[in-house]
């Protein structure tokens, strides 16, 4: 267990908490600790669902640790070199999740406060998001001389109308929880004292599904977002997606119909 990222197993669910006072900023140490947690979620067959949240009541995460970044720039300048922004990135990229494209298990963001820059990018990398009423989302990066290139510029224009996306990414306009709900960026707004209860309720519900079916769904949806509908049908008919193929020929795929016919709860085994 890291001193800046805490993990807790609850059955098939892995809870991941960013705990880097005072605001849960994401420096290299936090990024690597988050990567370790998400790798565990990805690779452990006993785990099916992840929840990521921030410690405290104000910040989910403000994103990149700017003080650490400034120190790195100063060190690079002193050495007569350019700072390598991509050096020492952990598996999964920034925060260990923004480029973990082989993580097919569902991840829930429990957004307990401000999700700023890279903090918002963590949430955008998740499959479900629940937010407290006082949550705020914004991308101030352009006004600091850089851009949010760990997911925001790639994802936000796909999920929001163009002018709204530009207002957020260029002007740094803040978006409250109600507006995020309106645009479908969060599933629900939840009272602070009920946030983790709601995330756990959803995680436990997901954990009752067939594990191969969950992962195959995420695999297919990722493919479908970038291909035509006919192409999506073709790749399924050809069984070209490995998780879908594995699910299709699994014992779990037989267990579902059998349990329904026998009027009992299915017992999925992941194969």
Domain borders along the chain are 5-207, 211-261
Pick the CATH number of 5-207 from 3.90.1170.40, 3.90.226.10, 3.40.50.1820, 3.40.50.2000: 3.90.226.10
Listed residue (191, 64, 202) closest to 129, CA to CA: 202
Residues 235-240, mean pLDDT to the nearest whole number: 96
State the Cα–Cα distance between residues 207 and 240, nearest whole angstrom.
26
pLDDT band at 1 (very low <50, low <70, confident <90, very high): low
* DSSP secondary structure code for residue 47 in this structure: -
pLDDT of residue 79: 87
Token pair recorded at residue 111: 């957004």
Listed residue (60, 59, 40, 58) closest to 50, CA to CA: 40
Can you name the residues that pair with 26 across neighbouring β-strands?
64
Reduce the DSSP state of residue 9 to 3 states and report it.
Answer: strand
Q: What is the pTM of this model?
A: 0.94
User: For 38-51, how does the pLDDT look when each residue is reduced to its tens digit (9 = 90+)?
Assistant: 999 999 999 999 99
State the Cα–Cα distance between residues 232 and 264, nearest whole angstrom.
33
What phi and psi, each to the nearest 5 degrees, are found at residue 78?
Answer: -65, -30
Token pair recorded at residue 23: 């605001």
């Amino acid at each position: 267990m890291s001193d800046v990222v805490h993990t807790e197993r609850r059955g098939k669910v892995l809870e991941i908490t960013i705990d880097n006072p005072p605001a849960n900023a994401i420096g290299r140490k936090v990024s690597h600790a988050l990567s370790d947690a998400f790798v565990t979620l990805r690779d452990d067959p006993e785990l099916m669902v992840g929840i990521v949240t921030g410690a405290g009541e104000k910040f989910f995460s403000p994103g990149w640790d700017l003080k650490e970044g400034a120190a790195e720039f100063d060190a690079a300048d002193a050495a007569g070199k350019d700072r390598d922004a991509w050096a020492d990135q952990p598996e999964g990229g920034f925060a260990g999740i923004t480029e973990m494209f082989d993580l097919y298990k569902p991840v829930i963001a429990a957004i307990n406060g401000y999700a700023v820059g890279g903090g918002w990018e963590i949430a955008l990398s998740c499959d479900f998001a629940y937010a407290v009423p006082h949550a705020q989302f914004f991308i101030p990066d352009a006004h600091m001389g850089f851009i949010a290139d760990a997911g925001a510029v790639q994802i936000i224009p796909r999920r929001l109308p163009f002018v709204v996306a530009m207002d957020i990414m260029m002007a740094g306009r803040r978006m409250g929880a109600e507006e995020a709900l309106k645009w479908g960026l969060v599933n629900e707004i939840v009272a602070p004292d009920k946030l983790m209860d709601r995330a756990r309720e959803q995680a436990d519900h997901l954990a009752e599904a067939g594990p191969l079916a969950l992962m195959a769904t995420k695999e297919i949806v990722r493919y479908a977002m970038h291909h035509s509908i006919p192409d999506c049908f073709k790749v399924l008919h050809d069984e070209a997606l490995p998780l879908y193929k594995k699910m299709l020929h699994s014992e779990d795929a037989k267990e579902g119909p059998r349990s329904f016919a026998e009027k009992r709860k299915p017992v999925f085994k992941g194969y």
